[in-house]
């Protein structure tokens, strides 16, 4: 069968799917609203780290243009509290972060060079029936927000109807890297979290700061006070807040060199409402369309899971498209069964961490205490950023967490 697949959206979900399908010689078209040059010139869309499992897929797709030996980092540092408690955990293989305004246009060009068709233009849900008629299967990968009304919200896995953090993310100069490079995860109890990511930008290596602010805390101003109104005042506010909340970062900042890496488009302020939607929708005319990536499941970036789970799900969907010939509800059952554990574990783990970092349960405090001892438990937690289903195996209930802690510390169960 000569299959024709249409993909709406050229983010990680759409591109990894499109590239996998082209590897199998499938006739594939990506329809998206921005050209590679428009993506390059856009505001910072996110600050994404790809974990080793995603890097492995990139190698298999022959798009690993930023080898981890040169561009990666191999561990997480953790800093908790005002006199920060310091500990670290190892990854089994390096992760890597590249500014998506470099990464996505390059993969779009790879896709086109490998015979993929690209069509540019803004689409709306009203276009779906017309487009579906052109393809054997239409996949919607338009990210969060756009097309959200097409796919029904799944209340079982969507505990929130509003964001849980006020977010600010940017690319900065003047922050010295940890020795040997690492992601640093800072926790300011009761106020927020901040993740430092060594990130490759147009100007070379810089530091992404993903600042997750609790609503009502002093840190919330980082998300709500517009940077553009007073850039210098905003940077001064950051340094003041870091002095109180993130001293473990401030100690590596050269205040004279601290600035956005490449101008005012290098900062993003806003929020994300976590949601899981159905994996497919049936249009009024009976056509089935599949949701993928953020269009299917959106997580807060606190654990850096969204693009990694999008890539996993793209791989699963691509394999099923190649293996099957009929794209009906039974087809979607196969896809959903295979992507569910990773995607739903990542969403539940992210939600669990946000809730417990906002109002920790006694079990979570015990877990943080065990984590702060370093050692094998901290390594296992850190490496689970690759395998969120393993993290969820360890954290899904107080009993599981207690068994996990006992296994690593030799402490008897209560």
349 within 8 A of 303, measured Cβ to Cβ: yes
Q: Closer to ligand FAD by CB, 117 or 402: give it.
A: 117
342 within 8 A of 312, measured Cβ to Cβ: yes
**Residue 99 beta carbon to ligand FAD: minimum distance, rounded to whole angstroms:** 12
**Residue 3 beta carbon to ligand FAD: minimum distance, rounded to whole angstroms:** 21
Q: Closer to ligand FAD by CB, 222 or 405: give it.
A: 222
In angstroms, how far is CA 176 from the centroid of its own chain?
24
**Residue 409 beta carbon to ligand FAD: minimum distance, rounded to whole angstroms:** 29
**Residue 410 beta carbon to ligand FAD: minimum distance, rounded to whole angstroms:** 34
Q: Closer to ligand FAD by CB, 11 or 279: give it.
A: 11
Residues at the interface with ligand FAD (CB under 6 A): 8-14, 32-34, 46-49, 122-123, 141-143, 146, 169, 210, 268, 272, 293-295, 301, 304-308, 310
**Residue 383 beta carbon to ligand FAD: minimum distance, rounded to whole angstroms:** 15
Q: Closer to ligand FAD by CB, 248 or 274: give it.
A: 274
**Residue 307 beta carbon to ligand FAD: minimum distance, rounded to whole angstroms:** 3
Q: How far apart are the first and last CA of the chain?
A: 60
Long-range contacts of 33-36 (CB under 8 A, 24+ apart): 33/120, 33/121, 33/122, 33/123, 34/10, 34/120, 35/120, 36/104, 36/105, 36/106, 36/108, 36/109
**Residue 43 beta carbon to ligand FAD: minimum distance, rounded to whole angstroms:** 11
Q: At what angle do helices 329-358 and 388-395 cross, to 10 degrees?
A: 60
Q: Closer to ligand FAD by CB, 152 or 254: give it.
A: 152
Which residues, 6 or more positions from 264, have their beta carbon under 8 angstroms from its beta carbon? 227, 228, 231
**Residue 47 beta carbon to ligand FAD: minimum distance, rounded to whole angstroms:** 5
User: In terms of residues, how long is the chain?
Assistant: 414
* Short-list 107, 65, 112, 160, CA closest to 311: 107
Q: Closer to ligand FAD by CB, 192 or 304: give it.
A: 304
Radius of gyration of the chain (CA): 21
Dist CA 334 CA 15 (whole Å): 21
Which string of DSSP letters, residue by residue, matches 349-390?
HHHHHHHHHHS--HHHHHHHHHHTT-SHHHHHHHHTTT-HHH
Cα within 13 Å of Cα(306), Cβ side = 25
Q: Closer to ligand FAD by CB, 3 or 312: give it.
A: 312
The helix (H) or strand (E) run that includes residue 314 is helix 306-323
Q: Closer to ligand FAD by CB, 39 or 88: give it.
A: 39
Tokens of 154: 């799944």
Q: Closer to ligand FAD by CB, 268 or 405: give it.
A: 268
Q: Closer to ligand FAD by CB, 169 or 354: give it.
A: 169
**Residue 142 beta carbon to ligand FAD: minimum distance, rounded to whole angstroms:** 4
Q: Sheet harboring 27-32: ordered strands across?
A: 117-120, 27-32, 4-8, 137-140, 288-291, 280-282
144 within 8 A of 45, measured Cβ to Cβ: no
Tokens of 258: 């601290």
Q: Closer to ligand FAD by CB, 72 or 143: give it.
A: 143
**Residue 310 beta carbon to ligand FAD: minimum distance, rounded to whole angstroms:** 5
Q: 280 by DSSP, 3-state: which?
A: strand
**Residue 357 beta carbon to ligand FAD: minimum distance, rounded to whole angstroms:** 16
């Amino acid at each position: 069968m000569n299959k024709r697949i249409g993909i709406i959206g050229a983010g990680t979900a759409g591109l990894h799917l499109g590239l996998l399908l082209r590897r199998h010689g499938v006739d594939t078209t990506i329809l998206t609203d921005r050209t590679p040059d428009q993506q390059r010139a856009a505001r910072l869309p996110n600050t994404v780290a790809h974990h080793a499992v995603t890097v492995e897929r990139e190698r298999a797709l022959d798009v690993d243009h930023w080898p981890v030996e040169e561009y990666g980092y191999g561990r997480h540092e953790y800093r908790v509290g005002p006199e920060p408690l310091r500990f670290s955990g190892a990854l089994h293989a390096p992760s890597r972060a590249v500014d998506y305004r470099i990464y996505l246009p390059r993969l779009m060009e790879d896709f086109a060079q490998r015979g993929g068709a690209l069509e540019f233009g803004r689409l709306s849900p009203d276009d779906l029936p017309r487009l579906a008629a052109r393809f054997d299967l239409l996949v919607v990968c338009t990210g969060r927000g756009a097309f959200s009304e097409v796919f029904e919200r799944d209340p079982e896995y969507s505990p929130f109807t509003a964001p849980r953090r006020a977010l600010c993310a940017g690319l900065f100069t003047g922050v010295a890297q940890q020795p040997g490079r690492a992601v640093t995860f800072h926790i300011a109890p009761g106020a927020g979290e901040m993740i430092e990511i060594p990130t490759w930008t147009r100007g070379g290596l810089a530091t992404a700061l993903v600042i997750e602010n609790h609503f009502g805390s002093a840190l919330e101003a980082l998300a709500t006070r517009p940077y553009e109104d007073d850039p210098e005042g905003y940077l001064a506010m950051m340094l003041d807040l870091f002095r109180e909340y993130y001293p473990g970062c401030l100690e590596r900042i050269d205040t004279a060199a601290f600035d956005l890496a490449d101008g005012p488009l290098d900062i993003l302020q806003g929020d994300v409402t976590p949601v899981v939607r159905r994996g497919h929708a049936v249009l009024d005319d009976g056509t089935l369309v599949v949701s993928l990536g953020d269009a299917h499941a959106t997580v807060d970036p606190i654990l850096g899971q969204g693009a990694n789970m999008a890539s996993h799900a793209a791989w699963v969907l691509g394999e099923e498209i190649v293996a099957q010939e009929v794209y009906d509800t039974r087809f979607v059952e196969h896809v959903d069964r295979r992507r569910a554990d990773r995607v739903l574990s990542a969403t539940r783990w992210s939600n669990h961490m946000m809730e417990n970092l906002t109002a920790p349960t006694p079990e979570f405090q015990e877990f943080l205490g065990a984590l702060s001892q370093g050692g094998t438990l901290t390594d296992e937690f850190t490496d689970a950023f690759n395998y969120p289903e393993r993290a969820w195996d360890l954290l899904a209930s107080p009993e599981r967490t207690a068994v996990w802690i006992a296994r690593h510390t030799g402490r008897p169960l209560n």
